[in-house]
Amino acid sequence: TGIWLIPLHTIVTPANVPDTYELPEWLTSMYPQAHDDVQQCMAQGEEGYVLRAWPAGNQSTSNSHTGYPHSTATLISDTSSDDRHPTASESSSTTNTTSNGSRLIILASSPEGVLYGTFHLLRHMGTGQPLDQLTAISRPANRLRMIDHWDNADGSIERGYAGQSFLYENNAFTRDWDRLHDYARLLASTGFNALSINNVNVHATETLFITDAFLPDVAEIANILRKYAIRLYLSVNFAAPMEAGGLSTADPLDEAVRRWWQEAAANVYRYMPDFGGFLVKADSENRPGPFTYGRDHADGANMLAAALEPHGGQVIWRCFVYNCKQDWRDRTTDRARAAYDHFQPLDGKFADNVMLQIKNGPLDFQVREPVSPLFGAMQQTHQLLEFQITQEYTGQQRHVCYLVPQWKEILDFDTAVNDRFAPVKQIASGSIWQREWNGIAAVGNVGADGNWTGHLLAQANWYGLGRLAWEPDTRAETIAREWAMLVFGMDTEVVETITTMLLDSLSIYENYTSPLGIGWMVNPNHHYGPNVDGYEYSPWGTYHYADHMGIGVDRTIATGTGYTAQYAPINRDRYDSLESCPDELLLFFHHVPYTHVLHSGKTVIQHIYDTHFEGAEQAAELIARWQTLEGRMALGLYTQVAERLAEQAEHAKEWRDVINSYFYRKSGIADVQGRVIY
Ligand code: GCU
């Protein structure tokens, strides 16, 4: 089969004027659908593409006058060439092919489109699908498809579970360009187009990344990323004018501060003309921000936006702003309310090149949380949906936990704002209100480990996020199966076993950890392993309020914190009422007695016991399921997963026993099945 990569601007004159283009005859004569496909292609925009195969014998021959080969495997690799036909030497390099071979074309209006189309083709082949029937028309749903690194210059990774950073060590860049190359290629292969390379908590060394001390290295990274159509972003320290510039203030309305940022931005663009912009965590978890100066977050973000605007850069401003020094005795302050309370009143006040980055839930990437009510509540503001691929609260890549089903649920959630169908995926993509700058950003899960992600199966989350950011309607099962095929090959038993293990893994993990949407219950600081009261008497706003009678946070309007009122009416009413609140989120929204009967017909306490016994059993079964694959893949792949699954099963037992014992001791209510509880 011949593969032609034909960038549109090489055959369309003049480019970007759909009504007046002409296709060369050599193309239309051998490619009957050329006209239609070119139109489709142009409709896909800069990053989209058309892939088309047509079988042997279905095209006319000849074309000797153009020199265009009848045959195959012609690669037009120089996308900058104008209206260029293959040269004689290029043609001759393919003379081993026949004149009636089937043909395959990748049509795109930009080099990026060709790149993504090529990866589509590779995925198609890698998943064993027939080439001669390939028809695909695709473009990304989201403009920004971004990974946020939480890597620190000292080589550590905040919430990293796959070894040290491959970007930094000892407060310098590793300059491991080979790995970076591989990484960029992997990112592009699933459609990512943006990368922030340092932690949102910007420490002393990283504060200087936007200065001449580090910009040469940063620019080298950008050079590699650019080959794969990925734009580089930097997390910046809001207090940089003081810490790097020696000013006495970082007040966003101070003229000297504004000038300092303008000069800093201009300097960054001297090194990287296509630099993406700044990512900012301000006034959050002890980071500096505009509140120090009595300014609001629009003042802060717009000041940076003004510095970047002349160069085409963006500010990505995080909404993870809450009081992390709360008094646990104070039951009126509700951390879940914080993002909405801080940002919703500012809707319409942000500059056009500001995007607000909003975590998927109101708390912090728990196994189960409702969707953040900020989605849909800021219709005049560019928004990015933030997910966490790194498994901070979902097993730290020691447990298998395929997160794509969770992300799908969030993307499909109907915010019902303005009484219309308004799913999060349309808000994230900006399509709902025709917002220009939107998308999905996710905290990455890779490190220096040989397999990138520590747990081999955690690669599926990274892959899955890329696929969903490109096309949110892709099914979780499709993604799991694709990933399994691309990594392990076409052995059906291997692929099906891994696919089902992945698909079951999130509910297994949820079963043996925090119940019914309550969250936390982990060891403080590192967040691994069960500790029911670990965050109960802390300043972090992370409470479950369990006593001998019941458990849960009352977030209702009448008797609770009123958080439910942040949702549009349909969702507000559904969550506010005990009758209609879904079981899986019950304890997030309501404080109930252990004897409260769920929609499932079980009491809360029996649900806790049953899910924890079941979850631990399911974790043990994962080992047996994996064992059926022994000998069907390279030993190294087999063993590394087997080891992690063994550890997971052990830790699932720990979770089961800690959670069950805690609630048995608190409530005094026995398990109806009389199983062992300590
Ligand atoms: C979580 C995480 C922190 C991180 C923070 C953030 O709280 O535990 O390590 O810095 O999220 O998203 O900024």
Q: Is the pLDDT of residue 565 over 90?
A: yes
pLDDT at position 8, please? 67
Angle at 155 between CA 153 and CA 157, to 5 degrees: 95
**Cα distance between residue 299 and residue 280, in whole Å:** 13
The residues, ordered by sequence, that sit 6+ positions from 305 with a Cβ below 8 Å of its Cβ are: 314, 315, 350, 351, 352, 353, 354
Residue 14 pLDDT class (50, 70, 90 cuts): very low
ipTM confidence: 0.99
Atom 11 in ligand 1: residue holding the nearest Cα: 364
Residue 85 pLDDT class (50, 70, 90 cuts): very low
Beta bridge partners of 136: 51
**Cα distance between residue 315 and residue 185, in whole Å:** 25
pLDDT at position 103, please? 78
pLDDT at position 19, please? 60
The ligand 1 atom at the shortest distance from the C-alpha of residue 527 is 8
pLDDT at position 60, please? 42
Q: Is the pLDDT of residue 134 over 50?
A: yes
Residue 386 backbone phi and psi in degrees, to 5: -105, 125
The residues, ordered by sequence, that sit 6+ positions from 329 with a Cβ below 8 Å of its Cβ are: none
Query: Which range (18-27, 72-81, 436-445) has the least confidence?
Result: 72-81
Atom 10 in ligand 1: residue holding the nearest Cα: 201
Q: Is the pLDDT of residue 53 over 90?
A: no
Atom 7 in ligand 1: residue holding the nearest Cα: 364
The ligand 1 atom at the shortest distance from the C-alpha of residue 199 is 10
pLDDT at position 353, please? 97
pLDDT at position 23, please? 78
Q: Is the pLDDT of residue 69 over 70?
A: no
Section 502-521 average pLDDT: 98
User: In angstroms, what is the span from residue 105 Cα to ligand 1's centroid?
Assistant: 45
Catalogue the active-site residues: 285, 364, 392
pLDDT at position 33, please? 86
How would you label 457-473 residue by residue, b for 16+ Cβ within 10 Å and e otherwise? bbbbbbbbbbbbbbbbe
pLDDT at position 26, please? 76
pLDDT at position 20, please? 61
User: In angstroms, what is the span from residue 19 Cα to ligand 1's centroid?
Assistant: 50
The ligand 1 atom at the shortest distance from the C-alpha of residue 201 is 10
Best residue for ligand 1 mutational test, from 148, 235, 284, 285 (most atoms within 8 Å of Cβ):
285
- pLDDT tens across 86-102, in order? 333 333 222 223 344 67
Above pLDDT 90, what percent of the chain? Answer: 83
pLDDT at position 98, please? 33
User: In angstroms, what is the span from residue 237 Cα to ligand 1's centroid?
Assistant: 15
Q: Is-contact 554 422, C-beta < 8 A?
A: no
More confident residue, 397 or 64: 397
Best residue for ligand 1 mutational test, from 151, 159, 358 (most atoms within 8 Å of Cβ):
159
Q: Is-contact 629 623, C-beta < 8 A?
A: no
pLDDT at position 3, please? 65
Residue 65 pLDDT class (50, 70, 90 cuts): very low
Residue 263 pLDDT class (50, 70, 90 cuts): very high
**Cα distance between residue 43 and residue 48, in whole Å:** 8
Q: Which residues line ligand 1 (CB under 6 A)?
A: 158-159, 200-201, 281, 285, 320, 364, 392
Residue 84 pLDDT class (50, 70, 90 cuts): very low
Question: Pick from 483, 452, 454: which is nearest to 467 by CA?
Answer: 483
Residue 72 pLDDT class (50, 70, 90 cuts): very low
The ligand 1 atom at the shortest distance from the C-alpha of residue 158 is 9
Provide the greatest CA pair distance for the chain: 90
pLDDT at position 32, please? 81
pLDDT at position 16, please? 52
Atom 1 in ligand 1: residue holding the nearest Cα: 364
User: In angstroms, what is the span from residue 634 Cα to ligand 1's centroid?
Assistant: 37
Residue 22 pLDDT class (50, 70, 90 cuts): confident
DSSP, collapsed to helix, strand or coil, labels residue 407 as helix
pLDDT at position 42, please? 85
pLDDT at position 101, please? 63
**Cα distance between residue 74 and residue 77, in whole Å:** 9
pLDDT at position 599, please? 98
List of E strands, 285-325: 314-318
- pLDDT tens across 591-643, in order? 999 999 999 999 999 999 999 999 999 999 999 999 999 999 999 999 999 99
Q: Is the pLDDT of residue 588 over 80?
A: yes
In the predicted model, what is the mean pLDDT of the chain?
Answer: 91
Q: Is the pLDDT of residue 127 over 90?
A: yes
Q: Cβ–Cβ contacts within 10 Å for residue 4, how many? A: 21
**Cα distance between residue 262 and residue 239, in whole Å:** 14
Query: Which range (75-89, 315-329, 451-465) has the least confidence?
Result: 75-89
pLDDT at position 9, please? 62
Section 221-246 average pLDDT: 98
